[in-house]
Homo-oligomer: A and B are copies of this chain.
Amino acid sequence: MSLLTDEEREFLFNEASFLKGLPRPLIAELISIANVAVYPKDGYVTHIGDMNSDFFLVISGVISVNACSSSGKQITFLRVKAGEVYNMLSPYIDTPRFLEARAVSKTRCLWVKGRDYFSFVQKHPPLAARMFEIIGRALDAANSRILDLMEKSVDERIKRVLNTLHAKFDSPIMITAVEIADIAGTTTESVLRTLSKLRKLNIIETQRGKIWINEPETLRDSEFGELII
Residues in chain A within 8 A of chain B (CB atoms): 67, 69-71, 73, 75, 77, 89-90, 92-93, 95, 98-99, 118, 121-122, 125, 128-129, 131-133, 135-140, 142-147, 149-151, 185, 223-225
* Closest Cβ–Cβ distance, residue A144 to chain B (whole Å): 8
Q: How far apart sit A67 and B146, CA to CA, in the bound complex (Å)?
A: 11
Given A149-B146, A151-B69; A137-B93 close (CB under 8 Å): yes
Q: How far apart sit A121 and B127, CA to CA, in the bound complex (Å)?
A: 12
* Closest Cβ–Cβ distance, residue A98 to chain B (whole Å): 5
A185 — which chain B residues lie within 8 A by C-beta? 146, 149-151
- Nearest 3 A-B pairs (CB), nearest first? A142-B142, A150-B185, A92-B132
Q: Is the CB of A67 within 8 A of B122?
A: no
Q: How far apart sit A135 and B128, CA to CA, in the bound complex (Å)?
A: 13
Copies per assembly? 2
Q: Is the CB of A95 within 8 A of B146?
A: no
Partner of A136 from the list B67, B92, B99, B151 (CB cut-off 8 Å) is: B92
Among residues of B, the one whose C-beta sits closest to the C-beta of A70 is: B223
Among residues of B, the one whose C-beta sits closest to the C-beta of A145 is: B146
Residue with the highest number of chain B CB atoms closer than 10 Å, among A90, A122, A136, A137:
A136
A95 — which chain B residues lie within 8 A by C-beta? 140, 225
A223 — which chain B residues lie within 8 A by C-beta? 69-70
A77 — which chain B residues lie within 8 A by C-beta? 143, 146
Q: Is the CB of A99 within 8 A of B143?
A: yes
A-B contact pairs, 19 of them (CB 8 A): A67-B143, A69-B224, A71-B151, A73-B151, A75-B146, A75-B150, A90-B136, A92-B136, A93-B136, A98-B140, A98-B144, A98-B224, A118-B129, A121-B128, A122-B128, A135-B135, A142-B142, A149-B149, A149-B185
